[in-house]
Structure 1
Amino acid sequence: KTVRREDSSPQKIILNSPNNATSALNLKSIVTLRGDSIEGAELQFKHKQGKEHNIFKTKLKDGTLWQLPQIRDAGSHLCNAIEIASRNDANYEFKSVKEVSLILDELMESLLKCRQSLSLPKRKSINELLESQNLLVFTPPLPGDVAVSFYIYTSKLVLALYCLHANSQNKSEKIEITQRIQVEAMVKWLNDAIIFFTLSLQQCQQLKDKLMAVSEILENP
């Protein structure tokens, strides 16, 4: 079982510049988040056409989704952690401290993967940005010298916009990022999830430390 979009209520979120910083591109966005997908998004930013900067507006095509695999992965790791914790019934008697310790190690590994899925987004290369099918879900289409990416960073939903430039060298064309700006918003349930994963890891570690202390006392009375 994983995070299912139909189990979640849609949430409209306004993305703002970090620390209310201003940008020449004046990027603005309103998105509708539901589970592990963005099911609606409106973007607005200044785009240079010739010598002038004009306001460019676009949105996700109706019926299309921008998947957020970080949330899906965190949900999968959480389900795995629940399976580990529920592996034995309530009446099961553990045979040794080592047996409990091994289960705690396995549980902590899954919980750590939960937290890392949200807190350590994979940085995309320029080629990955340009080849992403997500860039095709906007109407009107994004300008050819612009790429965007939605991702999760801890408890925040982030939209990054990249300005691109084709640099011709030695008869080959190299795409470079000339500017990167972002807007973001804190998502409460993501923040709650990060806190839950962190506290769960701490409690598992505390239990493991106590078990090790008891084990040493029993082995060296």
Structure 2
Amino acid sequence: MVVIGVDRSALSELSKMSAASQAERAVLEEEFNWLLKEEVHAVLKQLQDILKEASRRFSVPTPGMEGQLKQENFILGSSTMDQVKGVLTLQGDALTQADINIKVAKSTQVMHFTFREDKQWKLQQIQDARNHVNQALQLLSSRDESYHFKTGAEVNKLMDAVMMQLTRARNRLTTPASMTLPELASTGLMRMFTPPMPGDVMVNLYINLSKLCLTVYQLHVLQPNTTKNFKPAGSSVMHNPGAMFEVNNTKFEVSHVHKVECVVPWLNDTLVFFTISLQLCQQLKDKISVFSSFWNYRPF
């Protein structure tokens, strides 16, 4: 029989290492439980406070209280280009008044348009962004301070859902809808003005980041003998001169494009709030991942 000797000093070292590992694990587990119980709720409270401020910027009047919401006038134009000038009145998510002057290309003629008194133009981008912020707030309020998170995965799932809403809100403001020129020609916006827009002028109003933008297209009709190279333009936020399209069997080409814009300060505020909130969510997820790397066998 061969007797294998046991190195008692090695066993002692292994025992110490195991005890140290268990002690470290106990400390980490205590820290993680504190994170789930205290820090997660502190972050949720901070997120709620920030997003309530963002939601307040998007405030809309309750029925019968429309006069309570402040009207803001924005002057669109530039000192270097006077082909298009305008004043737009924004109230919450709606343009309630517009006063636009367009100087016709290669002419001294100035066309003047205003919104009809019975019309206002809803900015869908602002409506959608506000809705996403409110959905994020609902997600956060569903886990009040008495709620006990049991796993990191549960926290991550909530953070992912909140981040998805905030990313969608931000994208609605930073990415205006692409439209074809026939789609633009058929929007209700073209029927908002008095006097009516002539057939050779089209306008578009949208939000881009924190700016309220007005784009004016001047058109000319393509004669039948010049349409052999006709190539309809696709979807775009802004079309360039030379873009072609067809409406009611008439072919047009864009001859001139003018864009004027103005910063809306409270939209800039909301974009900052979105950035800060997304960073807070990601930082919390990063802390969770630090603990999960120690216990990769445990569902975090």
Letter paired with 1:9:
K
Contact 1:3 1:76 (8 Å CA) reproduced: no
Name the SS of the counterpart of 1:116 in structure 2. Answer: helix
1:98 aligns with 2:98: no
Shift of 1:189: 0.4
1:4 aligns with 2:63: no
Name the SS of the counterpart of 2:109 in structure 1. Answer: strand
1:15 to 41, 57, 76: 76
For 1:79-118, what aligned pairs fall within 5 Å after superposition? Answer: 79-118=134-173
- Equivalent-residue separation in structure 2 for 1:67 and 1:191 (angstroms): 19
In the other structure, the counterpart of 1:211 is 288
Comparing 145-154 with 173-182, greater Cα deviation is found at 173-182
Shift of 1:176: 2.3
In the other structure, the counterpart of 1:185 is 262
1:138 aligns with 2:215: no
- Equivalent-residue separation in structure 2 for 1:11 and 1:80 (angstroms): 27
- Equivalent-residue separation in structure 2 for 1:41 and 1:110 (angstroms): 32
Moved beyond 6 Å, runs of 4+: none
TM-score for the superposition, normalised by structure 1? 0.90
Shift of 1:43: 0.3
- Equivalent-residue separation in structure 2 for 1:55 and 1:182 (angstroms): 16
TM-score for the superposition, normalised by structure 2? 0.67
- Equivalent-residue separation in structure 2 for 1:213 and 1:144 (angstroms): 62
1:126 aligns with 2:184: no
Summarize the Cα distance change of 1:195–1:162 in structure 2 as closer, same or farther, 3 Å threshold: same
Comparing 4-13 with 109-118, greater Cα deviation is found at 4-13
1:38 to 74, 95, 98: 95
Contact 1:39 1:63 (8 Å CA) reproduced: no
In the other structure, the counterpart of 1:199 is 276
Name the SS of the counterpart of 1:183 in structure 2. Answer: strand
Q: For structure 1, which runs of at least 5 residues remain unmatched after alignment?
A: none
Task: Considering fraction of residues, name the structure with more strand.
Answer: 1
Shift of 1:52: 4.0
Name the SS of the counterpart of 1:72 in structure 2. Answer: helix
Contact 1:84 1:107 (8 Å CA) reproduced: yes
Shift of 1:198: 1.0
Task: Considering fraction of residues, name the structure with more helix.
Answer: 2
Name the SS of the counterpart of 1:141 in structure 2. Answer: coil
Structure 1 or 2, whichever has the larger Rg, is 2
The number of equivalent residue pairs is 215
- Equivalent-residue separation in structure 1 for 2:156 and 2:295 (angstroms): 16
Letter paired with 1:22:
M
- Equivalent-residue separation in structure 2 for 1:196 and 1:8 (angstroms): 21
- Equivalent-residue separation in structure 2 for 1:200 and 1:164 (angstroms): 44
In the other structure, the counterpart of 2:114 is 59
Name the SS of the counterpart of 2:104 in structure 1. Answer: strand
TM-align CA RMSD: 2.2
Shift of 1:213: 0.9
- Equivalent-residue separation in structure 2 for 1:4 and 1:85 (angstroms): 22
- Equivalent-residue separation in structure 1 for 2:208 and 2:107 (angstroms): 34
